[in-house]
Amino acid sequence: KAGVTQTPRYLIKTRGQQVTLSCSPISGHRSVSWYQQTPGQGLQFLFEYFSETQRNKGNFPGRFSGRQFSNSRSEMNVSTLELGDSALYLCASSFGQPKETQYFGPGTRLLVL
């Protein structure tokens, strides 16, 4: 089975721009979660989508949004980029049942200049 894939792997943007990141989950997985990893902050939960609906949300501003398509692929969008948005963005997929192991993609490294 193919793992979780994320595109692009690297991205450079400037302040004020917007960016869209993509995540394809493992086949059969219906839950996709997004995390932001920055040095010293660990993995901060952004949101989770299940069957095209946002099921959980972390404490990030409204500039961060996401969506999930009928094939479970998910996109994350960040509008009006700030320097502090520079981070590794990880997505993780699972079947969507409680207390399940999540499987992570390699991440998209975003640099905001």
Partner 1 sequence: DQQVKQNSPSLSVQEGRISILNCDYTNSMFDYFLWYKKYPAEGPTFLISISSIKDKNEDGRFTVFLNKSAKHLSLHIVPSQPGDSAVYFCAASARSTSGTYKYIFGTGTRLKVLA
Name the site residues for partner 1 (rule: CB under 8 A).
4, 33, 35, 40-45, 48, 50, 55-56, 58, 90, 92, 98-107
Q: Cβ 52 to partner 1, closest distance in Å? A: 15
Question: What is the CB neighbour count within 10 angstroms for residue 30?
Answer: 16
Which of residues 18 and 111 has its CB atom nearest to partner 1 in the complex? 111
Distance (Å, rounded) from C-alpha 44 to C-alpha 112?
18
Q: Cβ 55 to partner 1, closest distance in Å? A: 5
Give the SS3 label for residue 50.
strand
Which of residues 35 and 64 has its CB atom nearest to partner 1 in the complex? 35
Quick check: 12 and 113 in contact, CB under 8 A?
A: yes
Which of residues 37 and 65 has its CB atom nearest to partner 1 in the complex? 37
Q: Which residue has the tokens 């086949």?
A: 27
Q: Cβ 13 to partner 1, closest distance in Å? A: 20
Q: Which residue has the tokens 């959980």?
A: 56
Which of residues 49 and 78 has its CB atom nearest to partner 1 in the complex? 49
Question: What is the CB neighbour count within 10 angstroms for residue 26?
Answer: 18
Q: Cβ 57 to partner 1, closest distance in Å? A: 9
